[in-house]
Amino acid sequence: MKIATWNVNSIRTRQQIVVDWLSQNSVDVLCLQETKVIDQDFPRLAFEQLGYHLYISGQKAYNGVAIFSRTPLTEVSSGFSPILGDIVAEFDLQKRVITGVIADIRVVNLYVPNGSAVGSEKYQYKLAWLKLLGEYLATLQDKETREICICGDFNIALEDRDIYNPKGKENHIMSSPTEREALREVLAIGFQDVFRKFNSETGHYSWWDYRAAGFVRNRGWRIDHHYLTQKLYKQAINCKIDLEPRKLDKPSDHAPVILEF
């Protein structure tokens, strides 16, 4: 089974690139972030014709997540409130969470807030959102005994080896100590970074800024992850970043990451 995650930075703009990629990469599940489209305008047809079932949660202009699956998912929900209750409904105005069950594995697809700049209001929102994510995952673990795969764009590089040039990035968004610690706390309830099961080197990234020729100079960040519960982590046989679609004309700024188990 292959589960991929890919921030596509607009599914309408990237439709052909994603169709072509799916045609050549037979993943069972594809988790998308930054679809940037309301549900009624999502370009479903091309993906359904490839044999995928689509589960989408979008909004206008920003954010938006989707799961494509070769077999139907069960127990699909989007946002925090189906799990945590209506008290957190405010956090669901931004479409950043969608989940479903396949082969008795719960897949949680996330688009973590970027946070803009350390100390900003958006940064505070990111930290609050991560705290809620922790409660969301803990609640899921209480409710269900299934293995869980959380994946998506975390907008956090947990370790210095996940950044092209970590020196002086202590106060940089996506690598500041406070947000790293906030994510570590989430993961501490039982999730492991499966990419690092197979690869401990630096120089492997999943996002490169469009500006300043980030990609050709490999000035990237590894911010797109799969975190797995213990049994699933043990079953994993591969996790790799596919650089090819990032080389195309008009690419997303992110590359897809593929987990295999």
Partner DNA sequence: GCTCGAGGCG
Partner DNA sequence: CGCCTCGAGC
Report the candidate in 3, 60, 74 with the shortest Cα–Cα distance to residue 32.
Answer: 3
Our answer to whether residue 111 is catalytic in this structure is yes
Structure-block tokens of residue 199: 């690869």
Residue with tokens 């409130």: 81
Phi, psi of 61 (to 5 degrees): 75, -40
Q: Is 225 annotated as a binding residue?
A: no
Our answer to whether residue 254 is catalytic in this structure is yes
- Which one of residues 21, 29, 36, 129 is an interface residue with DNA (CB under 7 A)? 36
Q: Which of 111, 123, 136, 205 is catalytic?
A: 111
**183, 113 Cβ separation under 8 angstroms:** no
**30, 6 Cβ separation under 8 angstroms:** yes
Structure-block tokens of residue 125: 């929102």
Asked if 9 is part of the footprint of DNA (rule: CB under 7 A), the reply reads yes
Integer Cα distance of 222 and 206 in angstroms? 5
- With H, G, I as helix, E, B as strand and everything else as coil, classify residue 140: helix
Nearer to DNA, 9 or 69 (CB): 9
Binding to DNA in span 205-234, by CB under 7 A: 209-213
Residue with tokens 């050549």: 24
Binding to DNA in span 99-138, by CB under 7 A: 113-114, 116, 122
Binding to DNA in span 130-189, by CB under 7 A: 155
How many residues bind to DNA according to rule CB under 7 A?
A: 20
CB 159 to DNA: min, Å: 20
CB 163 to DNA: min, Å: 15
Within 13 Å of residue 63, how many CA atoms lie on the same side as its CB?
21
Residue with tokens 């799961």: 67
Nearer to DNA, 125 or 198 (CB): 125
Nearer to DNA, 9 or 229 (CB): 9
The string of DSSP letters for 11-63 reads HHHHHHHHHHHHHHS--SEEEEE---S-GGG--HHHHHTTT-EEEEE--SSS-
**122, 112 Cβ separation under 8 angstroms:** no
Nearer to DNA, 25 or 114 (CB): 114
Nearer to DNA, 162 or 253 (CB): 253
Kindly calculate the radius of gyration of the chain based on its CA atoms and give it in whole angstroms.
17
Our answer to whether residue 153 is catalytic in this structure is yes
Q: Which of 52, 136, 153, 233 is catalytic?
A: 153
Binding to DNA in span 48-77, by CB under 7 A: 60-62
Contact residues for DNA (CB under 7 A)?
9-10, 12-13, 36, 60-62, 113-114, 116, 122, 155, 209-213, 250, 253
- Binding positions for Mg(2+): 7, 34, 153, 155, 253-254
- Binding positions: 7, 34, 153, 155, 253-254
* Residues with a known catalytic role: 111, 153, 254
